[in-house]
Structure 1
Amino acid sequence: MAHAKTVWITGAASGFGLLTAAKLAQSGYVIVATTRQADARREQITQFISHYTQHAVVHVWELDVRHEEQAQQIAKQIIDLYGKIDIVINNAGYAAGGFVEDVPMQAWREQFDTNVFGAIQVCKAAIPYMREAQSGCLIQISSISGRMGFPGLGAYVASKFALEGYSEALCLEMAPYGVDVVLVEPGSYRTNIWERSLEQMHAPEGSPNHYYAGKLLASMQQNARTAPEPDPVVNLIVKIANTADGKRKLRYPIGKGVRAVLFSRMLLPWNVFERMLWKAIGVVIRRNRHHS
């Protein structure tokens, strides 16, 4: 029996994940929305999606992406019910804030456990079924932070750089099997990832970085207030999901000024770019050094 396309979305309780689930349900997808607190969020998720369509097929299942066995179990449940996994959207993630020396090593490990190893485990759970079907798409929600560094977000940036490198290698590995791998790279949008980052900012009072961390925090708070709604990113994810296998690009940067910033990062001497970035935060860098 033929079924509608199935999509497995991690971190589906809010932000890009929840909105994407609703938009894809509206397009007729079977939605498998996973979150760490499924019992507490199930009614909220299904009610939100019902505002977009009354005919959605939605499963809200518990998944902590840090647990490999749970990811394997979710993949098997989808196969048992529908016989295929068409799209995986790795959206679960968060941003740990703070200067490198101020962020405890445990926080670094937790950042990578979710943003990197969690995404890897979900992909590894779905890949065997996609490979056998010779079709499918793995969509990784990355960030502009996966293409360039930002002060005070070293752990998050490092995790997104890792996700980008891993996904590029995976894209090459999956090409012979007809499975696409895609990186969506948003700039700043109004989602709760930045609220969590601001709440968990590692900026101890006695830190030598306290002044600069304060400047950075003020800049992040301003960006959070003025960031646009996430709809353009969600619409892009839906477009990618609806694109035929083999027709998708590897990278999709999106956001106001994102392409210009990436272009500047590539072309400008590092010391010029460095000063420009800090100036945008409100700090003047007077030293003169040259990096290739």
Structure 2
Amino acid sequence: MKTILITGASSGIGRAAAVYFSQQGWNVVATMRSPEKEKELNQMDRVLVTKLDVLEKETIAEAIAKGIERFGKIDVLLNNAGYAAVGALEAANDLQIKKQFDVNVFGVIHTTKAILPHFRASQGGTIINISSTAGRVAFPLLSLYHASKFAVEGLSESLFYELATHHIKIKVVEPGNVATDFTGRSLDILTDDSLEAYGAYTELVVNKQMESFRKHSSPPELIAKTIFEAANDPTDRFRYLAGEDAEFLMRMRVENSDENFMKTIAANFS
């Protein structure tokens, strides 16, 4: 019986993955910042709910140790914890910029580094990083989020080669819009009351993005199934698109020149 450790399992994709993997007979280490608030996952068979805050490295080591103690070994790490900062770059303060990268990039790095000794000792393992189509295609007012996801893509692709000699697989799951609370509790709005230059444009873009989100979102359970596919795929496949909108967007990106693609995106926000 295999075991997966999931970061950010309190809601959204992480929670859906924890439920789905458990239903498929896997052991699950469902980690979150406030495990004491969890009332459902800790009632499920083969699920260990424990604390892991990607901003606190000691909790990463503790969660991994608890997972190994409970289930004997960990076979898959799912780096899922993340959030988006939305707004004009000029409106972002230093703390907001730092936090976006601390969670979305350094969190992935620290958790990956922490699991690697165990995977090397086990002579194998799989690391699945939740990226996004936002890691390959950019939209306005999401510069920090895109930068963090582009970083995850580059990190993952380099590690794909670096860890192959240790029989450790790196895979990236790229959802499009997902029907979760990502636009609520997982969203940091960048605002500066003294900065009015972006006001009208921000309102226009946000409204259009929210409309697109409502019309073209995949349920988190679909993303969980894609993650399960990646976790069980013995091949060297690297990327897994998740959602019809993700498939459409990346197909449009591949079939067009940079100039034509970016003109199309710009026209949608004008």
Q: Do these two structures clear the TM 0.5 threshold for a shared fold by scoring above it?
A: yes
**2:204 paired residue among 212, 215, 218:** 215
After superposition, give the CA deviation of every residue in 1:118-149 in whole Å (9 maximum; x if it has no partner). 11111111111111111211010100010122
Moved over 4 A (4+): none
In the alignment, what sits opposite 1:92? 81
* 1:47-86 matches, cutoff 5 A: 47=43, 50=44, 56-86=45-75
SS, match of residue 172 in structure 2:
strand
User: CA separation in 1, counterparts of 2:62 and 2:3?
Assistant: 16
In the alignment, what sits opposite 1:118? 107
In the alignment, what sits opposite 1:239? 229
SS, match of residue 77 in structure 1:
helix
In the alignment, what sits opposite 1:31? 28
After superposition, give the CA deviation of every residue in 1:48-71 in whole Å (9 maximum; x if it has no partner). xx4xxxxx2111111111111211
**1:162 paired residue among 138, 151, 156:** 151
Which protein has greater RCO, CA pairs closer than 8 Å, 6+ apart?
A: 2
Q: 1:260: Cα distance to partner? A: 3.9
8 A Cα contact 1:97 1:197, kept in partner: no
Does residue 12 in structure 1 map to residue 9 in structure 2? yes
User: CA separation in 2, counterparts of 1:125 and 1:193?
Assistant: 27
Q: 1:248: Cα distance to partner? A: 4.2
Q: Which moved more, 1:151-160 or 1:255-264?
A: 255-264
User: Which ranges of structure 2 fall in alignment gaps of 5 or more residues?
Assistant: none
Q: 1:257: Cα distance to partner? A: 3.8
Kindly, what percent of the aligned residue pairs are identical? 34
Q: 1:255: Cα distance to partner? A: 2.1
The RMSD of aligned alpha carbons is 1.8
In the alignment, what sits opposite 2:239? 251
User: Which ranges of structure 1 fall in alignment gaps of 5 or more residues?
Assistant: 51-55, 284-292
8 A Cα contact 2:175 2:241, kept in partner: yes
Query: What TM-score does the superposition give when structure 1 sets the normalisation length?
Result: 0.86
Rg comparison, structure with higher value: 1
Query: What TM-score does the superposition give when structure 2 sets the normalisation length?
Result: 0.93
Does residue 138 in structure 1 map to residue 127 in structure 2? yes
In structure 1, give the amino acid aligned to 2:21.
L
In structure 2, give the amino acid aligned to 1:185.
E
